[in-house]
Amino acid sequence: MTDSRNLTGQVALVTGATGGIGREIARRLGARGAHVVVTGRSRERGEEAVATVERAGGSAQFFRADLATMATVRALAEEFRRRYDRLDVLVTNAACSRDSRQLTADGHELTLAVNHLAPYLLTHDLLDMLVETPDARIVATSSTVHSTGEIDFADLRLETDYDAFAAYARSKLSNLLFTTELATRVDFPVNAVHPGFVPGSGLYRHASLPTRAFMALAARLPLLGTSVDEAADPLVELAVDPDGDHTYFDRHDPTDPDPRVDDDRLREQLWNVSAALVDVDPDWP
């Protein structure tokens, strides 16, 4: 990566930063001078991530947060607002994929809750800080599997049929619909990046045993996927660039997403349904 912008004085918030791509993004933003707030469920892994940023020459703070519950997302935003007066970079990277159907304490299907509803609510709760911070930007970790996702608004809890891959694809389509709609509503860059197939990301650590075994093998065979370091490259490039504004990237390349992402009515429907699910006014920003 050739970009060498210095981020001294800037504050970045990276979700899912206790391992995988998120941790590498946090490390690199810290190395450029940013103060990085890292989030995750494990305090031990969070403290390790903070140490990684500090060894790179940056500063960091860990906020423990399980993004499966919306009360925790709200608490994360409140704590961030209490401690900081600016937000230059928001990287919504946290994601999960579960082999079996699970519901959160709020009654949401888990994959949709973590991968879509959490970043939707977190962005809502922190948006005024982003608007007030000059040259702010948002970067979301996306996936090309969004093109296979299907959203059945009558069965958002996936009660009739559950498939782990389909649930993940649906969440990533929702992710990208939200990111694209948000980009039309704000005056700063909002981008989503497919970083490649990254078997070492930790995304599948709660998947079935055969899936975990395949990912462990793939992580040792570089030709089967993208390394964590390589996957972080395009996300970091956009996180440091106040002018990088195409909305969707396949690795480093500006790319057209699935045609459904251009459907204004679908984007608005998901926006409004998501607002109802997390109990906010849909008329934002």
Active-site annotation, residues: 168
Tokens of 34: 């940013």
Residue 118 and residue 123: Cα distance in Å, rounded? 8
Classify residue 88 by its DSSP letter.
S
Strands 253-254 and 11-14, how do they pair?
unpaired
Residue 140 and residue 104: Cα distance in Å, rounded? 22
Residue 32 and residue 272: Cα distance in Å, rounded? 38
233: left (phi over 0), alpha (psi -120 to 50) or beta: alpha
Tokens of 135: 């040259």
Instruction: Please say whether the beta carbons of 245 and 136 come within 8 A.
Output: no
State CA 87 to chain mean position distance.
16
Sheet with 190-194: list strands edge to edge. 59-64, 35-40, 11-14, 89-92, 137-141, 190-194, 248-250, 253-254
- Looking from the CA of 33 toward its CB, the CA atoms found within 13 Å total 9
Cis-peptide, bond into residue 285, ω within 30° of zero:
yes
The residue whose two tokens read 């007066």 is: 85
The residue whose two tokens read 């391992």 is: 19
Tokens of 90: 């928001």
